[in-house]
Homo-oligomer: A and B are copies of this chain.
Amino acid sequence: MTETKPKWNRRKDARPAEIIEAAVDVFIAHGFAAAKLSDVATRAGVVKGTLYRYFDTKEDLFRAVVQHVVATNLQAIEQAAQAFRGALAELVPVLLIRAAEGMGDGRVPALARMVIAESRAFPDLARIWHDNVVSRILGLLSGLIADAQARGEVRAGDPTAYAFSIVGPMVTGMLFHELFGAASPHAPNLVTLATQHAETVLRGLSVKSDTRRSDPSASR
């Protein structure tokens, strides 16, 4: 047993990923302000000082965390919807139910919560989230809606607002679970919500229906 255990080893390229991974957990668990860099370091199997070789400041590390998670979950979302060709009525239920299932792990909602929490202190953080997640999804969806309108499948109206009609309840439902857990008597079952809301909103969007409401002032 001459030289078995080195006190540590160099991992110039492996470290950043390990640190970010650890930081994700710590930030999600405690929020930005309450997260301690020493905790991050410990969890990464490293010492605090080491962090500063890879990240200049706590904020930098936080930004890296956000971008990491965003990038991770991005292609999945984008592929799922972008690869889709067909009637909106086919896509919406699939989209919502997939969302309901996919958010079960709590990684994305937790990060969304973080972003909501810290975006006032770091406005660029909101921008990252907006540009990479929200804007893409909304753009994609409202584009599909506009197409469906052109094909005469969907009633006249603002496509972006329609996009909110579609995804809003799911977003709210996820937030509800993230904040209040399943304990509340009003906690929605996400899959039920997705199924039922898809049905409901599609009935509302479709041109075929003819509910004859009192006010016939058409668009906008």
Contacts and interface: CB of A to CB of B under 8 A. Distances in A.
A130 interface: yes
Interface in A114-157: 115-121, 126-127, 129-130, 134-135, 138-139, 142, 157
Interface in A141-195: 142, 157-158, 160-165, 167-173, 175-176, 179-180, 184-186, 188-189, 192-193, 195
A168 B157 contact: no
Contacts of A38: none
Integer count of this chain's copies in the complex = 2
Contact of A168 (B29, B135, B168): B168
Nearest to A197: B165
A210 B213 contact: no
Interface size class of A (residues with CB under 8 A): 35 or more
Given A130-B179, A168-B173, 10 more contacts: A116-B175, A117-B118, A134-B176, A134-B186, A139-B186, A158-B196, A160-B188, A202-B211, A202-B213, A203-B204
A33 interface: yes
A70 to B, nearest CB: 15
Interface of A: 29-34, 89, 113, 115-121, 126-127, 129-130, 134-135, 138-139, 142, 157-158, 160-165, 167-173, 175-176, 179-180, 184-186, 188-189, 192-193, 195-197, 199-206, 208-213, 220
The 5 closest A-B pairs by CB, nearest first: A168-B169, A117-B117, A33-B33, A204-B204, A200-B204
30 contacts: A31-B33, A31-B117, A31-B118, A32-B33, A33-B33, A113-B117, A113-B120, A115-B179, A116-B117, A116-B175, A117-B117, A126-B180, A130-B179, A135-B185, A157-B196, A160-B186, A160-B188, A161-B192, A161-B193, A161-B197, A164-B188, A164-B193, A167-B169, A167-B172, A169-B169, A200-B204, A203-B203, A203-B204, A204-B204, A208-B211
Contact of A203 (B127, B180, B193, B209): B209
Contacts of A162: 196, 200
Contacts of A167: 169, 172
